[in-house]
Amino acid sequence: MPELVFFSGTMDCGKSTLALQIAHNRSTRGLQSVIFTREDRAGTGKLSSRLGLVTDAVEAAPDLDLYAFVVDRMSRGGKVDYVILDEAQFLLPEQIDQLARIVDDLDLDVFAFGITTDFRTTLFPGSQRLIELADRIEALQVEAMCWCGARATHNARTVDGDMVVEGEQVLVGDVGVAEEALGYEVLCRRHHRRRMTSATARAAALSPDVLPVTSG
């Protein structure tokens, strides 16, 4: 039976890499896909991973009806065996409904990849709708790591290396950027609650206020 599968995890846990791997494995068997993405780091109409892999994709703009797009391609003689969607968290809830309709009405597998919660630990609307509708939810097995070495479970937004908890839900950035720029960092829950990024932890370690004091 065709399924709507939601692969979820934090940033930097290999979601896009897995999406590209699924596309590669199936294409070698002669299966053809429609690949959707939204706000990819490589630019409009691209699906890319941090490993340097990239492929062309259809930009899932807010006004794009995903179901109608797939039906139109098939009605024009295009072969569609399955659908991949990356950056699913950025989609509108009604677009997630369209993905479910692709599964139910067109009998196609849909593989959606995305982050569950934002930098404020609030569910993205697209991810929330996927949790509500997906036939199966898969947590990515490649564990991203907090700077402390613990398993990273939360996404943090940083400005000048400091964690921020206010602002627009969607501001595209990436992990590992220069500290003076907008960026993101994955943290364990403890350090997300304490708003302690790798930069602030490093600064605290270098502060004379925390150096040991010897007497005499």
Pick the catalytic residue from 3, 39, 59, 87: 87
Contact 111, 83 (CB under 8 A): yes
Contact 182, 171 (CB under 8 A): yes
185 in active site: no
d(CA 149, CA 186): 11
Residue 109, CA distances (Å) to 78, 92, 177 in order: 16, 20, 35
d(CA 39, CA 46): 9
Catalytic amino acids? 87
